Amino acid sequence: MPSTGALMLLTAIHTCDQVSAYGFMTRNYAAFSDHYYDSERRAVRFFANHDLRMEAKLWEALHHRKVIKLYQRRTGS
């Protein structure tokens, strides 16, 4: 089952001319807290109901194909 964020991002892709996204899981997820808004670092936890790693690969592929603009945090920033 896709995450709620994935459902909304896919809906936006189908209904909007331009889509930008921030706060979605990216390849370097382990370097950051579970949520972009956390004030204290919390490790990302995975559950059986969402394949967040697969979603991250999809967002990256859509970004490289210029379907979406995926804003990504960089380590050391």
Q: Describe the crossing of helices 52-64 and 4-15 by its angle, rounded to 10 degrees.
A: 20
Positions in the chain short of pLDDT 50: none
| CA-based nearest residue to 69, from 29, 16, 30, 4 | 16
Query: Could you tell me if residue 46 is inside a domain?
Result: yes
Query: Could you tell me if residue 21 is inside a domain?
Result: yes
- pLDDT of 70 reads 93
Bridge partner residues of 71 (DSSP): 22
Q: How many domains does the chain have?
A: 1
| Beta carbons of 22 and 36 less than 8 angstroms apart | yes
- pLDDT of 68 reads 96
| Beta carbons of 44 and 26 less than 8 angstroms apart | no
pTM of the model: 0.77
Q: Which domain holds residue 37?
A: 4-70
Query: Could you tell me if residue 40 is inside a domain?
Result: yes
Query: Could you tell me if residue 75 is inside a domain?
Result: no
Query: Could you tell me if residue 35 is inside a domain?
Result: yes
- pLDDT of 25 reads 80
- pLDDT of 76 reads 64
Query: Could you tell me if residue 37 is inside a domain?
Result: yes
